[in-house]
Each structure stands twice: as structure tokens, then as C-alpha cells.
Amino acid sequence: MNKLLKKTLKILLPVALGGFILYWVYRDFDFARAKEVLLHGTNWGWMLFSLFFGVMSHVFRGWRWKQTLAPLGAYPKSGDCVDAIFVSYAANLILPRVGEVSRCGVLAKYDDVSFAKSLGTVVTERLIDTLTIIVITGITFLMQMPVFLRFFEETGTKVPSLVHLVTSPWFYVVLFSIIGVLVLLYFLLRMLSFFEKVKGVVLNVWEGVMSLKSVKNIPLFLLYTVLIWGCYFYHFYITFYCFAFTEHLSFLAGLVMFVGGTFAVIVPTPNGAGPWHFAVITMMMLYGVNATDAGAFALIVHGIQTLLVIILGIYGWLHLSLVNRTKQNS
């Protein structure tokens, strides 16, 4: 019963956290406006084009993952690597971060790849991705810092007092987001301490982590990394052209919101629901979009992108099952 309760809480707590933040963000929102924009104010040609980049980001990530597995003597099929990525992102909707584990399980089942070693390569991937977003963030901040300073000068915005900060609902949104990240770190540390008790597993994970040193084609690895993050950005940025109230926003404005949204999804909620909306809406208002339109944008774009993740996850699961079953029968 205790184990069942823990599993239930692991699923419900991220959903509750995301639901709480969404409630605060949209508590006074005009949902009729979002419906109007969805049905009559969305350019679906641009939206479908943006989804192409969403699909390709997963494809490139699958190809890059296969490359990092090669030094370990593991040669899974490219299609299985991509399908595993599709499944992993869909799994994250059920339980944040479980997708990293599930994709290793997929290759262990269908390609006989060591689970522990492949998990090590995932750790390496995440370290590379962290360094990448740090670089993107630094460049974006340096390029847009004058814009932020000019905004505060022209509007006369002042830093709010401590009393005003504590009474603001946004304070509690950020506070609960931080608490969510701390809880995630706690569970990760507990998992790490568990692995430390199993020396053989740790050594296999470490071997996977160090696989990057032996990757044969480093330029190709770097190209995949650039393509992955380029696709992530255009998956978001192109959606600006879907709506009349965002099509005027610049490339740099897109970078600022992309960085903010990327950091927001660190908070363990399904597909970043809640924190992502909060970050994008707040930053979009910084560039002159009114709160209602910004809220509609976040709601529609996030909803459609989440639907894409679900569809790709179902496709990946079915494709893995059918292709490997066919090979077993032949």
C-alpha cells in the first residue's frame, strides 16, 4: 500500500503543481478569446510548419544518441533510437523525467543494449544540452540587455517592495516552482545514492557517461546538437507567425522567450504546463502583447505541441512493436 501511495503521489504531485500554476495564471482569463483565436485567428499553415521542426528535433536527438552508444559497442537501429525518443517524451507527460529511463528500457528490450550504459549516455547528453542552453542564454542576455534596460527606463517600472512582492500571486507561482525543482532534485539524489550501493551498475553508467570521449565523428555530434536546438527554437519561434498579435515580434524576442520557456520546463510538471505558460506570457507582455492575447498564445501553442508529443509517442510505441514483431516472425 505504501509503494502504491508513493507511485500515485509521484504522478499526482506534478499534475497538481502544474494545475495550481495554471490556475493562478489563468484565473481571470477570457477563455472565449482563446476559442476565437483558435477557430478564426490561427494560421494553420505556419502551425504545421512549426510542428515539422518539433518532429525533426526528436529525429536528430535519436541519431545523436545512436552515435554516443557506438563507443560502448552498442549499435541499435536508427529507427529504434528515434522511436525511443518519441516514446520517452510522451512518457514524461505521465511522470516528468521518467522518459529518460524509459528510452533506455526500449533499447534494452528491442536492441539488447545495456540499460545502465545507455543511461550513462543520457546523462552525458543532458550535460551537453545544459552547456548549450547556458551558451544560448548568455548570448541572448548580452544581445537583449539594452532592450530590458530601455523598457524599465521608458515605463518607469520600479522594483516592487518586499510587501508587494509577498502579496503578489506571481510570488507564489515562482515559489511553488522552486519547491517543485527542489523535490525533483531530492528524488534524483535518492536515486543516485541507490545506484552508488550497486557498484557494477554505477561503473556501467560511468562508462556510458565517458562514451563521449570516444565518439568518432565529433563534428557530426556537434552538428546534431546545433540542429536539435535549432529545431527546438524554430518549433517555438515560427508559431509567432500563426497569430496577428505576435507576427511582428522579432527573432531576438523569440530567443528571449525561448530561453525563459526552456528554464521554466525544468519545473517537474507534465510538459512544463504552468511554468512554461507563466514564463512565456510574462515575457510576451514585456514586448507589448496584451495579457489576454499572450495567454491565448501560450494556451494554444502549448496545447498543440503537447498533442504532437502524444501522437509521436503513440506512433513510436506502435512502430517499435510492429517492426520488431515482424522481424521476429520472419
pLDDT digits (tens, 9 = 90+) for 220-267: 999 999 999 999 999 999 999 999 999 999 999 999 899 888 888 887
What does pTM read for this prediction?
A: 0.81
Q: What is the pLDDT of residue 33?
A: 92
Band the pLDDT of 130: cuts 50, 70, 90.
confident
**Per-residue CA distances from 53 to 49, 65, 140, 254, 315 (Å):** 7, 18, 21, 15, 17
* Residue in this structure with the C-alpha cell 512565456, named with its chain if needed: 280
268 belongs to a structural domain = yes
Residue 180 scores a pLDDT above 70: no
17 belongs to a structural domain = no
330 belongs to a structural domain = no
15 belongs to a structural domain = no
285 belongs to a structural domain = yes
What cell numbers appear for 28 in the block?
481571470
Burial label, 13 (beta-carbon count in 10 A; 0-12, 13-18, 19+): middle
93 belongs to a structural domain = yes
Please list, in sequence order, all residues whose beta carbon lies within 8 angstroms of the beta carbon of residue 51, skipping any fewer than 6 positions away.
Answer: 235, 304, 305, 308
Using alpha carbons only, how large is the chain's radius of gyration in Å?
A: 21
Q: Containing domain of residue 97, as a range? A: 33-324
Residue 1 scores a pLDDT above 70: no
Residue 2 scores a pLDDT above 70: no
What cell numbers appear for 325 in the block?
514483431
Q: Which of 39-43, 132-136, 205-209, 285-289 has the highest mean pLDDT?
A: 39-43
Give me the number of domains the chain comprises: 1
DSSP 8-state secondary structure symbol assigned to residue 74? -
**Whole-number Å distance between alpha carbons of 11 and 317:** 21
4 belongs to a structural domain = no
Contact assessment for residue 95 and residue 77, using Cβ atoms and an 8 Å cutoff: no
**Whole-number Å distance between alpha carbons of 72 and 118:** 9
Range scoring the smallest mean pLDDT among 70-74, 166-170, 245-249, 292-296: 166-170
Tell me the percentage of the chain whose pLDDT exceeds 70: 75
250 belongs to a structural domain = yes
**Whole-number Å distance between alpha carbons of 69 and 66:** 5
Q: What is the pLDDT of residue 22?
A: 87
